[in-house]
Amino acid sequence: MSVFVLGSINLDAVARVDDLPRPGETVAGLSLELFPGGKGANQAVAAARLGAPTRLMGAVGKEDAGPGLKTKLSEYGVQVGDVLELPSVPTGQAHVWVASSGENMIVVTSGANAAITPQHVAATSLDGQRILLSQLESPAHAIETLFRAGAAKGALRMLNAAPALPQGAALFPLTDILILNQTELATYAKLDQEPVRLEEVSRASRKLMSRPDQVVIVTLGAAGVACIRRDEAFLIEGRKVKALDTTGAGDCFCGALAACLSINMDLREAVEMANAAAALSVQKSGAAPSMPSKREVEAFLEG
Ligand code: RIB
């Protein structure tokens, strides 16, 4: 069964620094590399690397890095037939700073990603798509069209509501599995502080649910992943690894989870597998290039 991702495709310019700059500060970069990225592309690569047939819908510029990014994504196993190449529009770009601690800061300019419309989505066949996965680097109205069409076809709709945007909340009632990090959860649930303990995460997550069959999954960094559904809340412990670059770790989790659920894996088992995939991804540089294969994840879980 396959995964359909509607999402962003960016060229990531990744500068390594010792420490992230503070406002007004200039710091020396240690290196600068270009990688394929974008939350949609990263999640599609993660799903494809975990073995799910995966289609990506998005848009890139025609005259710059766009066509090359499409080629790279298809080399990772992603089906890119629904990726538009638009003239006179720049491909999305992300300026990523990665500190020696593995922490990062990212600024995204959306470019062609903003050009996807509900009409583009409505013109695409969703036949045979078991899982629909999106994030908020694509226009919310296009995601809404996708999720409404998916509901009619009985697909499972997964939303990674990142980055946290006001328009994202309107999509929650159309979502079956909502995935957030602690910061995003605090923003959407209007909390002054990020929730830490499972009880706090669970209480905040339930504020975002409007249907009893919804699931909220909250990634807690090194602390693991919390899953909240109608009658239970459980925590999957984080895996201790040395992080080289955390860029795209959340995307790895989302794409891997989608791939596991596309083969009807039990939710707890799927979260464990996605958690392991994300732990592997932070040990390599770059977002899309750091997504592990199914074999690597299975070996890590066995080891
Ligand atoms: O989640 C990481 C991604 O966010 C990066 O690849 C960057 O392109 C931004 O979209």
Per-residue pLDDT of the chain (303 residues; tens, 9 = 90+): 699 999 999 999 999 999 999 999 999 999 999 999 999 999 999 999 999 999 999 999 999 999 999 999 999 999 999 999 999 999 999 999 999 987 889 999 999 999 999 999 999 999 989 999 999 999 999 999 999 999 999 999 999 999 999 999 999 999 999 999 999 999 999 999 999 999 999 999 999 999 999 999 999 988 999 999 988 999 999 998 988 888 899 999 999 999 999 999 999 999 999 999 999 999 998 889 999 999 999 999 998
- What are the pocket residues of ligand 1 if the criterion is a CB atom closer than 6 Å to any ligand atom? 8, 10, 12, 37-39, 42, 94, 106, 108, 137, 247-248, 250-251, 287
On the 0-12 / 13-18 / 19+ scale of CB atoms within 10 A, 152 is exposed
- Backbone φ and ψ for 213, nearest 5 degrees, come out as -95, 10
pLDDT of residue 246: 86
CATH number of the domain where residue 140 is located: 3.40.1190.20
Tally of domains within the chain: 1
pLDDT of residue 125: 94
**HSE-up (13 A, CA, CB side) for residue 41:** 34
pLDDT of residue 50: 97
Q: What angle do CA 45, 46, 47 make, to 5 degrees?
A: 90
Query: H-type helices in 62-154, by residue range?
Result: 66-75, 118-122, 140-152
The residue whose CB lies within 8 Å of the most ligand 1 atoms, and thus the one to mutate among 45, 108, 184, is: 108
Domain that holds residue 54: 2-302
If DSSP codes are grouped into helix, strand and coil, which group holds residue 157?
A: strand
Q: Which amino acid is at 197?
A: R
pLDDT of residue 103: 84
pLDDT of residue 211: 95
pTM: 0.96
Q: What single string gives the DSSP state of each residue in 202-216?
A: HHHHHTT--STT-EE
Nearest to 151 by CA among 129, 170, 178, 118: 129
